[in-house]
Amino acid sequence: MNFVSSQYLLFFAAVFGIYWCLGRRRQNLLILVSSCAFYAVWDWRLLGLIAISTVSNFVCGNRIAASTDGPRRRRWLWSALAINLGILGTFKYANFFADSLVSLAHALNFGVQPVTLQVVLPVGISFYVFHSLSYTIDIYRGELRRSDSLVDFAAFVTFFPQMVAGPIVRARELLFQLEAERQLTVAKVQTGVGMFITGLFLKAFVADNLALALVDPVFSQPAAFGTATLWWALLGYSFQIYADFYGYTLMATGSALLLGIQLPMNFRYPYLAIDFSDFWQRWHISMSRFFRDYVYIPLGGNRATPRRQMLNLAITNLLSGLWHGANWTFVAWGAQHAVLNAANQLVRRRLGQLSAASQRRWFRLTLLPRWALVQGAIMQTWVVFRSRDFATAMDFYRGLFVWQDGQALQIGSLTLCCLLAVVADHAYGWVREHLGKPPALAVYYPAAYTVMLLAVFNGMPAHATPFIYFQF
């Protein structure tokens, strides 16, 4: 059930109307039932995987909380990890690694027959597995108390606004909200509806039009297009993936807020980043925090030697790349960011040797060049992220940096409006970060939402495309 559909609006209206007529416990039961119905639209059979992940973490987490014996607590933790990562590995990565081993064997002249599991990739599996695992891990660390209600916990794991594409919400961020009474206020309604409209505009108008008119045609056969068009398409995809994923996040957050639930912020104007670490504090923030807290820090984080820090960072980036999809292109994307982040750490370490006055001077004088360098490097990484295979990515890179003649796509007024919408979004973000929040005019927000709705109704493509992050 796509957020950009009349079916979702009718579904949410029904849930919203019933929800606020119930008490807290029945509200949570309604969330659980409606979330299962929401997911069953894709494939009801896959609800069993969610049930296994949910129940296993609830049982293991509560067993850990009830025990003071260290080895027993670790056994329950490893049991939860084995069950949930086993589900993730089987349904998302088994065929990928099997095919990779077969290809390696063939390259070494070994005759090996491919073995393929007849499984489908469940929508949002990476998200709901991480949601439920956070409960067990945080209880083991002593950062979260156990839940007494399986319904409350299941409602947290399956909460339909963020179930299939995030944000990655940890138990300590959401579970306590489900265990408390919620209230609906005028401010929440205004903010929630505004978020949903903005997200709808970013997804249905900006992202989908960029995909249809510019990105998809060029990335399907980059060797056929000229260098100038390739650069336009790369810029288009950089803006498309932002508008698509941020649009989903806003619609999810707005839907949750209308149900009295606050989800964490997941984007903060990422294309304003002035170094690579700054980018990951602005882009998919919930994923960055998850890998920081559950991978990077347990590996030693910044407490280790400089070389070990680099290794920890590389492992974290590679795993985050693989998390995005069972394809070596995503691993390569993670490797690119590992290199960029390592370079970032080296520069920061060298600057730390300068005096405070010299550091301030350097940061001030190099602000624009650093921003351009960082954003240019990040934009290049989207090539391998978007490409279906390495051959396509190499064709794209070759066309970017070695001039080639070819087809040219006309950048029409609609496409230009979509690009300018993202520029305007970040310009507004820059003003907020550097000059403070602009004074709220009574007519500003209603007028902006009206313009966005008119753009959606008159300019969105005939068929809504799936959200990019649904495949992860």
SS3 assignment, position 145: coil
pLDDT-wise least confident of 3-12, 279-288, 302-311, 460-469 = 460-469
Structure tokens at 401: 């940096």
pLDDT-wise least confident of 109-118, 119-128, 309-318, 380-389 = 109-118
Looking at residue 259, the DSSP 8-state letter turns out to be T
The pLDDT confidence band at residue 93, using thresholds 50, 70 and 90, is confident
Give the mean pLDDT of 67-86.
93
Looking at residue 249, the DSSP 8-state letter turns out to be H
AA letter at 261: I
Averaged pLDDT score across all residues of the chain: 89
Structure tokens at 322: 């693989």
Which pLDDT does position 374 carry in this prediction? 94
Domain boundaries, given as residue ranges, for the chain: 14-182, 188-471
Structure tokens at 52: 């296994």
The reply to whether 426 belongs to the active site is no
The burial class, CB within 10 Å (0-12 / 13-18 / 19+), for 406 is middle
Residue 436 falls in which region: left (phi positive, over 0), alpha (psi -120 to 50) or beta? left
Give the mean pLDDT of 444-456.
88
Which pLDDT does position 305 carry in this prediction? 83
Q: Decide if 257 contacts 192 (C-beta within 8 A).
A: yes
Which pLDDT does position 105 carry in this prediction? 64
Which pLDDT does position 236 carry in this prediction? 96
Question: For residues 366 and 369, what is the distance between their CA atoms, to the nearest angstrom?
Answer: 5
Structure tokens at 448: 């902006």
Q: In the Cβ-directed half-sphere of 286, how many Cα atoms lie within 13 Å?
A: 25
Which pLDDT does position 120 carry in this prediction? 67
Structure tokens at 423: 């520029």
Residue 284 falls in which region: left (phi positive, over 0), alpha (psi -120 to 50) or beta? left
The pLDDT confidence band at residue 210, using thresholds 50, 70 and 90, is very high
Which pLDDT does position 88 carry in this prediction? 87
Query: What would the pLDDT profile of 229-275 be if each residue is shown by its tens digit?
Result: 999 999 999 999 999 999 999 999 999 999 999 999 999 999 999 99
Closest by Cα among 29, 13, 94, 83 to 54:
83
**Which residue do the tokens 């949910």 mark?**
54
Examine the pLDDT at 12 and tell me if it is beyond 80. Answer: yes
What is 332-393 written as a DSSP string? HHHHHHHHHHHHHHHHHHHHTTS-HHHHHHHHHHTHHHHHHHHHHHHHHHHHHHHSSSHHHH
Question: For residues 14 and 1, what is the distance between their CA atoms, to the nearest angstrom?
Answer: 15
Closest by Cα among 172, 173, 176, 168 to 142:
172
SS3 assignment, position 180: coil
Neighbours of 96 (CB within 10 A): 17
Structure tokens at 104: 């390696």
Examine the pLDDT at 106 and tell me if it is beyond 80. Answer: no
Catalytic residue among 131, 284, 324, 337: 324
Question: CA torsion angle for 68, 136, 153, 280 (degrees, to 10)?
Answer: 140
Examine the pLDDT at 125 and tell me if it is beyond 90. Answer: no
H or E element, residue 224: none
Examine the pLDDT at 107 and tell me if it is beyond 70. Answer: no
